[in-house]
Amino acid sequence: MIKVLIVDDSALVREAAKQILEQQPGIRVLDTAIDPIHAMERMAKEWPDVIVLDIQMPRMDGITFLRKIMAERPTPVVICSTLVGDGAQAGVDALAAGALSLITKPRAGVANFFEDESDSIVAAVRAAAQTNLARLHQIASQALRPAAPPVVKMIRPAGVSDGRIIALGASTGGTQALETVLTALPPDLPGIVIVQHMPIGFSKKFADRLNHDVRLELREAQNGQRVERGLALVAEAGKQMRLQKNGTGYTVEVIDGPVINRHKPSVDCLFGSVARAAGRNAIGVLMTGMGDDGALGMKEMFDAGAMTVAESEETCVVFGMPRAAVKRGGVREVLPLYRIAEKIRAWAS
């Protein structure tokens, strides 16, 4: 039974969210709280498995509460707020503090919103409940560290990729996993293409923030952009990204295509295109995430002769996507997160 605490200063929101969640088998709403102070009083009696949290509230805001929880007893948190739409800074701050997912709540029509988006809200809560708490503790520790100064970039090697491609896919917990891998990579690798599931408006801010910390050049992908050595391209949230062969090198196609495997961008879409364009000249890495996006695309890469790697259960926040890839038979190696960068470097050399 997943025990959920809803923290929101709107009585309408608390009631609507409670009704949606209590209709689901295996979910029990412990209580609702008008603000974090009330929530802490309730949590002293019984601790929830998942917290659904607003940001703008009296007495204490949601981000402050989130940071307090992550410092004292890391717990899966789903942010549901009007302040996290379209790449808003509050959403960036929430993800950096350890929130697992963001749901943009409208300023009006809340009751209809919870009814229309019930599937995505329930899915976010179920995904959060599957969190590897040991890994969440590590993420919380990372979030509490002071910000490091910007990495001094080397001059990026000139020219297109040498024919080799690195493809990375992740979802829940993936922002921190990608940071771990990319900060450990040198700047002279073959081109990198990345799908990270996130709300519309956040992919550019995510890429810009991570570019501060990595030796590679990291950018949100633009349609028709060349894939070059030392360059990592992140798929735009709300668009599909495919790799295309272009003469002796590659470009990316970024389009407003259909949803694939419930996602846009989809790891399946990217990995399938990498299989077709690069074949055995690629390495694909599938990291933490709920569901099975990427499993089919990774099998296509495997069948095309590519090196394929799945993150192991011990370091995943949620082992769903890597597990699905292993079950489908498309994974050559299963590695913990801290060994993935080493594997990529060895493959590239």
Show which residues are catalytic: 171, 197, 293
Omega before residue 150 within 30° of 0, cis: no
Which alpha helices (DSSP H) does the chain contain, by range?
A: 11-22, 36-43, 62-72, 89-97, 110-116, 118-129, 133-144, 174-182, 203-211, 267-278, 295-303, 320-328, 340-348
Buried b (16+ CB within 10 A) or exposed e, 152-164: eeeeeeeebbeeb
Question: What is the rounded CA–CA span in Å between residue 299 and residue 327?
Answer: 10
Q: For residue 222, give every residue at least 6 positions away whose Cβ sits within 8 Å of its Cβ, in sequence order, or none.
A: 252, 254
- Within 10 angstroms of residue 319's Cβ, the number of other Cβ atoms is 21
3-state helix, strand, coil in the chain (%, to 5): 40, 20, 40
Q: Are strands 240-246 and 249-255 parallel, antiparallel or unpaired?
A: antiparallel
Listed in sequence order, the residues at least 6 apart from 54 whose beta carbon sits closer than 8 Å to its beta carbon are 7, 8, 9, 10, 13, 62, 79, 80, 81, 105
Enumerate residues 6+ apart whose C-beta is below 8 A from 239. 254, 255, 256, 257, 264, 265
Q: Any idea how long the chain is?
A: 349
Q: Apex CA 123: angle with CA 285 and CA 12, to 5°? A: 140
Task: Please name the residues in contact with 122: beta carbons below 8 A apart, sequence gap of 6 or more.
Answer: 20, 21, 24, 27
Q: Are 146 and 304 in contact (CB under 8 A)?
A: no
CB of 196 closer than 8 Å to CB of 205: no
